[in-house]
């Protein structure tokens, strides 16, 4: 809170100035009642009418402008705080490693952030409003009350301690319930977002009723927590109303009895009662402010739980920029596991020569995709090393490493925006001419120009407006425009029909020329022409060589895969292997 207070010191100063004016005009309303009653109506000094009426008009006009000013200043501060924390959170999330995102649900994370980021804004605004408006107003009105009648003021103050005790009790109850509510609402919004994104699967598997029941339960839980928050936080209302009613009634009763016993003018008593009635509102708001601040603190703490996460894969203190000269990639005795109980790679060693194509073959769970993740330093190896031209990737900056690698996934992801935007993500400084050249090389230009907007056609959510083959060719164009010396292909044609596969394969052959290419292969047909083939099984390298050499080894794993696919006429390796 202190960092934001410093950043907005000037704007908060103007807002507080407006609040002080509000407090002053409120106290003025109570103060002037004494002169209205005594001087005008009791002593009938009619010459004071223009002055008193003019003062009232001026005070209320000033109050109106002050109300407008404080609202606008607080809104500007609040909106900027939300914008800054949204940007700050996103920037921080981009620094966190893949393990964090592996364990976090993206929809739930986005929903939680959207809910909690307003807590920072509300925390500051509530504090400033409580101090600058309500507390100062209360002090001003108390001063008027003491000036009008010290004895009656003492009677009115008896409601303070009970209200303080009630607030402290409610804060403890509210803290736990608010956190539960935020977490449940984030799960609800995340589940809704994921359902919309997976609507095709939902309808294909007639899962509408199942998911509706799941969402209904989350909605019910969220409603229950919200109702509990309302019950807890609103308990202040009957407590403050009852105590205020007792105090005001006691003051009025005593003042009436005392007025009946004496003949002094009623102006002082009326001024006191007016100040007392006006003071009730800031007292009520202040009693609720602590409760509301506690709710905002829960939101703020959850935001800082994310911001305080330390990136697990910082660049080494002496990290240097990677310099790719030839493009040789070497895996040397690489061990890795996502958890201590289940090792994924066990001593894998091989070399992908510069300018050649190295295919990585093996059944699901063999560790193929993990090799790509380690090469890009999404994770760090447990033991061993990965070298590019003799440089350990652990000792170079991640940015320089990844800028030398182009990646094409079997599930291409397109971002919100146009086709041109998505190709340009490969290299942000690429010119329009370079983007169009890359699209031609990727066999994408024909279908792009057939779109109504051409390169400026919006792709829809994750490329929903395009076919699978079209999305894949845009992904390849993105890799081409990156112009990186190392290319990673995660079976880029496995999910395509024959016609699309032929076009994508032709595009890949173009982009692979002159680059160090590593290919994850589920289809043996895609690796026949590879310069080198690496066969993994249960996290170990069991064979390597060319297609011809490996097929010739009758009892080899690769030869077994090859026979299985030829006999069964299937292309996918992601099935269980036949028994020996």
Strands (E) located in 256-361:
329-339, 342-352, 357-361
The token pair at 421 is 């935007």
Cα atoms in the Cβ-side hemisphere of radius 13 Å centred on 404: 23
- Tokens 């605004």, residue located: 125
- For residues 330 and 294, state if they share a domain: no
The pLDDT value recorded for residue 200 is: 67
- For residues 27 and 129, state if they share a domain: yes
Buried b (16+ CB within 10 A) or exposed e, 470-493: bbbbbbbbbbbbbebbbbbbbbbb
The pLDDT value recorded for residue 541 is: 92
Q: Does any domain span residue 489?
A: no
Whole-angstrom Cα Rg for the chain: 36
Rounded to an integer, what distance in angstroms lies between the CA atom of residue 561 and that of residue 92? Answer: 45
The pLDDT value recorded for residue 106 is: 67
Which residues lie below 8 Å from residue 533, measured CB to CB, with a gap of 6+? 358, 359, 361, 527, 543, 544, 545, 546, 547, 550, 558
Question: Which element (helix H / strand E) includes 155?
Answer: helix 150-156
The pLDDT value recorded for residue 573 is: 42
Q: What is the 3-state secondary structure (H, E, C) of 471-507?
A: HHHHHHHHHHHHCCCEEEEECCCCCCCHHHHHHHHHH
User: Maximum CA pair distance of the chain?
Assistant: 121
Beta-ladder partners of 336:
345
The pLDDT value recorded for residue 387 is: 94
The token pair at 96 is 């966190």
From 261, 276, 307, the end of a domain falls on 307
At residue 486, φ and ψ (nearest 5 deg) are -120, 130
- Please choose, from the candidates 288, 303, 274, 257, the residue with its C-alpha nearest in 3D space to the C-alpha of residue 84: 303
The pLDDT value recorded for residue 570 is: 46
- For residues 18 and 44, state if they share a domain: yes
Rounded to an integer, what distance in angstroms lies between the CA atom of residue 420 and that of residue 412? Answer: 15
Q: Does any domain span residue 433?
A: no
Distance from the Cα of residue 355 to its chain's centroid: 41
Q: Does any domain span residue 123?
A: yes
The pLDDT value recorded for residue 82 is: 79
From 307, 340, 361, the end of a domain falls on 307
Q: Does any domain span residue 486?
A: no
Contact 97, 379 (CB under 8 A): yes
Q: Does any domain span residue 462?
A: no
Q: Does any domain span residue 267?
A: yes
- For residues 154 and 296, state if they share a domain: yes
Long-range contacts of 408-411 (CB under 8 A, 24+ apart): 408/472, 408/475, 408/476, 408/479, 408/487, 408/488, 408/489, 408/490, 408/492, 408/508, 409/475, 409/490, 409/492, 410/490, 410/491, 410/492, 410/493, 410/494, 410/495, 411/495
Residuewise pLDDT in 10s, the chain (580 residues):
555 556 677 777 788 788 788 878 877 777 777 777 777 666 777 777 788 888 888 888 888 888 888 888 878 887 888 788 888 888 888 888 777 777 776 666 776 677 677 777 777 677 776 666 777 777 777 787 777 777 777 766 666 677 666 666 666 666 677 777 777 877 787 777 777 767 766 777 677 888 888 888 888 888 888 787 777 767 766 776 777 777 777 777 777 777 677 666 666 677 777 777 777 777 777 766 766 777 677 777 777 778 888 777 778 888 898 888 888 999 999 999 887 667 889 999 999 999 899 999 888 788 888 999 899 988 889 899 999 998 999 889 988 998 899 888 877 888 888 999 999 988 888 999 999 988 988 888 888 999 888 999 988 777 778 887 888 888 888 888 888 899 998 876 665 666 666 777 777 777 788 889 999 876 666 678 888 999 998 889 999 988 888 888 878 888 888 777 676 554 444 443 333 3
The pLDDT value recorded for residue 329 is: 93
- Tokens 């992801």, residue located: 413
- For residues 257 and 333, state if they share a domain: no
From 272, 307, 342, the end of a domain falls on 307
- For residues 204 and 325, state if they share a domain: no
Rounded to an integer, what distance in angstroms lies between the CA atom of residue 25 and that of residue 20? Answer: 9
Q: Does any domain span residue 494?
A: no
- For residues 271 and 380, state if they share a domain: no
What range does the domain containing 299 cover? Answer: 2-307
- For residues 390 and 303, state if they share a domain: no
Q: Does any domain span residue 580?
A: no
Rounded to an integer, what distance in angstroms lies between the CA atom of residue 374 and that of residue 348? Answer: 12
CATH number, domain with residue 54: 1.20.1560.10
The pLDDT value recorded for residue 367 is: 86
Contact 490, 301 (CB under 8 A): no
- For residues 225 and 121, state if they share a domain: yes
- For residues 224 and 353, state if they share a domain: no
The pLDDT value recorded for residue 352 is: 92
CATH number, domain with residue 373: 3.40.50.300
Beta-ladder partners of 387:
330, 392
- For residues 223 and 366, state if they share a domain: no
Split into its structural domains, the chain has a count of: 2
Q: Fill in the DSSP letter of residue 534.
A: E
Q: Is 394 exposed, middle or buried (0-12, 13-18, 19+ CB in 10 A)?
A: middle
- For residues 276 and 400, state if they share a domain: no
């Amino acid at each position: 809170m202190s960092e934001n207070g410093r950043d907005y010191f000037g704007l908060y100063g103007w807002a507080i100035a407006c609040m002080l004016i509000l407090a002053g005009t409120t106290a003025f309303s109570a103060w002037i009642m004494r002169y209205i009653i005594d001087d005008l109506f009791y002593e009938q000094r009619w010459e004071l009418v223009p002055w008193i009426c003019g003062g009232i008009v001026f005070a209320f006009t000033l109050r109106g402008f002050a109300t407008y000013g404080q609202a606008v200043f607080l809104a500007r501060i609040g909106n900027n705080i939300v914008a800054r924390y949204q940007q700050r959170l996103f920037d921080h999330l981009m620094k966190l490693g893949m393990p964090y995102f592996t364990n976090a649900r993206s929809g739930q994370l986005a929903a939680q952030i959207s809910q909690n980021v307003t807590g920072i804004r509300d925390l500051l605004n509530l504090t400033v409003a409580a101090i600058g408006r309500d507390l100062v107003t209360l002090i001003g009105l108390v001063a008027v009350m003491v000036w009008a009648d010290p004895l009656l003021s003492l009677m009115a103050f008896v409601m303070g301690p009970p209200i303080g005790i009630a607030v402290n009790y409610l804060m403890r109850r509210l803290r736990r319930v608010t956190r539960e509510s935020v977490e449940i609402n984030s799960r609800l919004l995340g589940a809704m977002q994921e359902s919309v994104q997976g609507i095709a699967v939902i309808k294909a598997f007639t899962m509408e009723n199942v998911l509706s029941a799941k969402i209904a339960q989350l909605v019910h839980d969220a409603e229950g927590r919200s109702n509990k928050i309302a019950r807890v936080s609103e308990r202040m209302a009957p407590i403050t109303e009852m105590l205020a009613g007792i105090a005001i009634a006691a003051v009025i009763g005593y003042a009436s009895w005392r007025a009946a016993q004496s003949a002094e003018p009623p102006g002082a008593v009326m001024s006191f009662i007016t100040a007392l009635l006006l003071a009730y509102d800031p007292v009520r708001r202040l009693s609720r402010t602590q409760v509301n601040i506690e709710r905002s603190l829960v939101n703020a703490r959850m935001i800082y739980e994310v911001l305080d996460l330390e990136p697990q894969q910082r660049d080494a203190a002496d990290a240097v920029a990677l310099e790719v000269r030839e493009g040789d990639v070497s895996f040397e005795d690489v061990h890795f596991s996502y958890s201590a109980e289940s090792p994924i790679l066990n001593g894998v060693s091989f070399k992908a020569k510069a300018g050649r194509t190295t295919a990585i073959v093996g059944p699901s769970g063999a560790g193929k995709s993990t090799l790509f993740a380690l090469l890009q330093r999404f994770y760090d190896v447990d033991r061993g090393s990965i070298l590019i031209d003799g440089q350990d990737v652990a000792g170079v900056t991640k940015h320089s490493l990844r800028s030398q690698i182009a990646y094409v996934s079997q599930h291409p992801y397109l971002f919100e925006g146009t086709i041109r935007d998505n190709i340009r993500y490969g290299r942000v400084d690429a010119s329009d001419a370079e983007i169009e050249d890359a699209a031609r090389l990727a066999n994408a230009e024909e279908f792009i120009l057939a779109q109504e907007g051409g390169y400026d056609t919006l792709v829809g959510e994750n490329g929903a407006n395009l076919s699978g083959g079209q999305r894949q060719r845009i992904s390849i164009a993105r890799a081409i425009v990156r112009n990186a010396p190392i290319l990673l292909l995660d079976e880029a044609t496995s999910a395509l029909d024959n016609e699309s596969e032929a076009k994508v394969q032709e595009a890949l052959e173009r982009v692979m020329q002159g680059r160090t290419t590593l290919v994850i292969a589920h289809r043996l047909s895609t690796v026949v022409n590879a310069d080198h083939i690496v066969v993994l099984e249960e996290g170990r390298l069991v064979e390597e060589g060319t297609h011809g050499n490996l097929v010739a080894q009758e009892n080899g794993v690769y030869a077994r895969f090859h026979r299985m696919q030829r006999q069964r006429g299937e292309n996918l390796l992601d099935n269980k292997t036949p028994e020996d």
